[in-house]
Amino acid sequence: MLEKTATTLQQMFSLEGKRGILTGGSSGLGLATSQVLADAGAEVFVLSRSGEVKVEHDTQHSSIHHIKADVGDRESLRSIVDEIGGGGLDFLVNNAGITQKARSEDFAPADFSRIQQVNVEAVFNLCNLSYPYLKQAKGAGRIVSISSLAAHLGFAEVAPYCASKAAVTGLTRGLAVEWAHDNILVNTVAPGWFPSEINKQVVDAERQKKILARMPLSRYGEPNELAAMVLFLISPAASYITGQEFVVDGGALAFGF
C-alpha cells in the first residue's frame, strides 16, 4: 500500500525531466521556490539582476542555474529564452517584482512607469517570448505568475503596485483563454504576507500590527508554503487548472470583521 501511494504521489507531483525559467530568484520567496522545484526534479534557470544568490542558504542544487538578466530589457530576454528554450521549456514562473512606498499625490511618473515595466510588461514579454517553447512541452507548458493580495485589496502608499498586480491577474485570465488550445496552462498565485524583500520595504511596526490582526492564522507565511502552491500548479496534478488565481494568505482575504 505504501509503495502504491508513493508511486501515485511521484506520478502526480514529480518534475523529473522538466526545465523552466523563474525570475527574481536570488533571495527570498523566489530562491525558496527554485529550491522546491529542483527538489521535485526540475532544472531551473533563475533570472535576476545579480545573477547569483544574494543570501546565505544551506541547499546547493546543481540543477539550479543563476543567470544575470534585466527583465525590463526585452531583447536581452529574447536571447536568454531562446538559448534555454532550445533545450526544451516546460514552465515559466514570473516572480520578479518591485514596489516603492509613497503617497499617490507625490508619486513621480517615472517611478510609476518603472513599476509597471517590471511587474506587468516584463511578465507579458516573458510569456510572449516563451510561448513557442511552452507550446511544445510534454503534458502542457505551464505559466505561473506571482500576483499579490494587493490585486484585491487597497493598501496605502503603494497604489501603483496595487495596479500592477491587478494587471497580472487580468493578464493571466486573458492568456489562459487565448492559449487554452495551444497546450499552455496559465495561473496566478497571490501571496499574502511573507518575509519578502518587498514587504520589508513597506512594512513598519504600525502596519505589521494591522497585518497580523487581519489574518485568521495570525502569522506570516513560510516561503515553502508559497513554493508548494507553485509546485502544484506546475506538476501533473494540476493538468485541468487554468485561468485561476490561488491566494496563499493565511485567510486574510476571507476576513470580514
The beta-carbon contacts of 147-153 under 8 Å, at least 24 apart in sequence, are: 147/172, 147/188, 147/189, 147/190, 147/191, 147/245, 148/97, 148/190, 148/191, 149/190, 149/191, 149/192, 149/193, 149/247, 149/249, 149/252, 149/253, 151/190, 151/245, 152/190, 152/247, 152/253, 153/253
Q: Is there a catalytic annotation at residue 131?
A: no
Distance CA 104, CA 174 (A): 28
**Catalytically annotated residue among 133, 161, 220, 240:** 161
Distance CA 77, CA 159 (A): 28
Query: Are the C-beta atoms of residues 215 and 250 closer than 8 Å to each other?
Result: yes
Q: What is the number of H-type helices and E-type strands within the chain?
A: 9, 7
Catalytic residue IDs: 161
